[in-house]
Chains A and B, each alone.
Chain A
């Protein structure tokens, strides 16, 4: 039978979280709560040098004085920061030489996700550094990378092995006191990825990390630092899923990218955390600070496909410091049921002849609220800065919302800034047209949504694009037989 809008809405709401399962791996968890002792304990557990402990403590002291931001277009029950355990590491922690040695349960988790590491290995040269509950437990392809002088490891390992690099760059793009969540992350970050590409090196494979929140009641605070030396290139993929859980889980990551002269960093994210059930219960709070710094002629591209989390607060940004540097932001944000997303970007033009592009696609269904919030700032010395922004919203049904909050601050007369925005709705006439050509409603929605998102999907690396398309379908189609 054909679908009325009412039926369509119902169908969209019946989507269940596919990845709701729980891995029973023994872990080593610190007691709940946050104070200086806990910060010191985290640092101790990770066998960090004193300077790192001190760095964390400074961040913690700053955080204590800060207030949780309230300007975003989201409403949620604020987390009790004293009721969270700030560290949880899988117990069995040997260094693996091959996948055969990896905890079978962990491998099983990946199988459920459809991302077997085996398959990943075979896939067009993807090295995977898995962050499972805060500690990296497997790193592959390290050797190939090492031959080129590329460092790709966990941030904890980098603190041990490459302290000079970490010391030089950590907190330079996202300062410890940048914002409430960044300060929290700086104090308690448990693990994350570190990537360093030497001068003139083109990283021969896509670097990939899968993050996963696993232990009940643990917030996860990853820290990622990517440094691309002069004239180097790297494409980094970050993919996320989380198991189903009743209480809200807090996630406050910090990602810092540094692209030195003539370097290019592509950073792609597929985020699929548990969005809560259809009554709006549960789900991940995702409060992330992602920022990149471009030196002369450098380029940073952020591409994100956000389908998960109950509440998203995320603005991957570019500081275009060097002359002729380029920042790009391509985003698809899908919200369904009671999800709330406030996401966008900041493009800060400091250098001359800097250029930025923003393409944002928001898809809202159910009773969700989807907001784009973007800032384009042109500094007084940024001659001939250019920006093009395009924000498109697609609505399904009558109970969801799409909002656009573009902020433009131009302090240089030569700036050229363009902003385009559209809002459309999947129409019954479009569905009927597809139906008449033999395409059922489920497939029709997938087709329309994919068409709507195409400009952004095209920016993703091939294997990621396929996964992203699947996620869009899972998020919106429901489980129609």
Chain B
């Protein structure tokens, strides 16, 4: 599904990603952990095509296709989805209207007609029920006045609507209380399939109790310094990151 080879990226001449290698197969869930400032969010945004970052060496392949020349919207049309750490507000644009526009733009890119209204409504109903979202919420302005938990739940709702091939969840657990975390994680688990892949970026092991990853990677100073299975997350919870930093420095 996704293959990242020796990826380097910088912003304002400061190198943040210093040679990332990562391979994610369809049907897999990978967790990326690491201390603050290690480059986790940068990696997510670079995959999504945020042009603020300068990609130096390396490549990102989605199903074998190099993404380098593609705009963020083209990557989205190919099935890349980013659940934002800080979702932005768009006043006056309802969640429903936003999703309708997003889905129809992607369909247009694939040469399809707009989704018929009844189909759209059905889909909205299904996905909002799955994520236990109150219907009233969908007519509110996108992220405006949403609590932290509502914003994150809304991101996962959008993921459910867009049905991406590759979903990157950037700190989806931050700002969630335990109940919201459970609902969001349940939603993500329902969206897991053999045809898609999910990358979960998180600080804490807590989320991984609910969304159980196949692999865990530790990012430190722009490089993946350790990879393992879900047990690695538990080890990190217990020992912190310092031992890895030391190991990496050797």
Residue of A nearest to B72 (CB): A435
| Distance in angstroms between the alpha carbons of A313 and B73 in the assembled complex | 40
Chain A interface size, as a band, is 20 to 34
Q: Choose one: A2, A435, A436, A447; the contact of B101 (CB below 8 Å).
A: A447
- Is there an interface contact between A1 and B71, defined as CB atoms closer than 8 Å? yes
Q: Per-residue CB proximity of B78-92 to A under 8 Å, as 1/0?
A: 001110100111111
A432 at the interface (CB under 8 A from B): yes
Q: Does B221 contact A (CB under 8 A)?
A: no
List residues of chain A with CB within 8 A of the CB of B158: 437
CB <8 Å contact, A435 and B76: yes
Is the CB of B105 closer than 8 A to any CB of chain A?
yes
Which residues of chain A (427-481) have a CB below 8 Å from chain B? 427-430, 432-440, 443, 447-448, 450-455
The verdict on B26 contacting chain A, using a C-beta distance below 8 Å, is: no
> Contact at A451–B49, with CB atoms within 8 Å?
no
Q: Across the interface, name the chain B residue whose C-beta is closest to A1.
A: B71
- B: contact size bracket: 20 to 34
With a cutoff of 8 Å between Cβ atoms, the chain B residues found around residue A4 in the complex are 51
Q: For residue A432, which residues in chain B have a CB less than 8 angstroms away from its CB?
A: 50, 72
> Whole-angstrom distance between the alpha carbons of A429 and B48 in the complex?
13
Of residues 56 through 102 on chain B, the ones whose CB sits less than 8 Å from some CB of chain A are 71-73, 75-77, 80-82, 84, 87-93, 97-98, 101-102
User: What residues of B have a CB within 8 angstroms of the CB of A428 in the complex?
Assistant: 52
Chain B residue nearest to A4 (CB atoms) is B51
**CB atoms of B76 and A437 under 8 A apart:** yes
Q: Indicate if the CB atoms of B71 and A435 lie closer than 8 Å.
A: yes
Given contacts A1-B71, A438-B105, A447-B98, contact A454 B77 (CB under 8 A): no
- Indicate if the CB atoms of A427 and B88 lie closer than 8 Å: yes
Contact residue among A435, A436, A443, A451 (Cβ-Cβ distance under 8 Å from B90): A451
Inter-chain contact B88/A438, CB cutoff 8 Å: no
**Residue in A430, A437, A452, A453 whose beta carbon sits within 8 Å of that of B102 in the complex:** A437
Contact A2 to B93, CB < 8 A, known contacts A427-B88, A439-B102: no
The CB with the most chain B CB atoms within 10 A, among A430, A433, A454, is that of A433
- B105 A439 Cβ-Cβ under 8 A: yes
Q: How long is the Cα–Cα vector from A436 to B50 in the complex, in angstroms? A: 9
B174 touches A (CB below 8 Å)? no
CA distance A135 to B91 in the complex (A): 43
Q: Which residues of B contact A (CB under 8 A)?
A: 48-52, 71-73, 75-77, 80-82, 84, 87-93, 97-98, 101-103, 105-106, 109, 141, 158, 162
Q: List 17 A-B contacts (CB under 8 A).
A: A427-B88, A428-B52, A429-B88, A430-B90, A432-B50, A433-B88, A434-B102, A435-B76, A436-B80, A436-B82, A437-B158, A438-B73, A440-B71, A443-B105, A448-B93, A451-B91, A452-B92
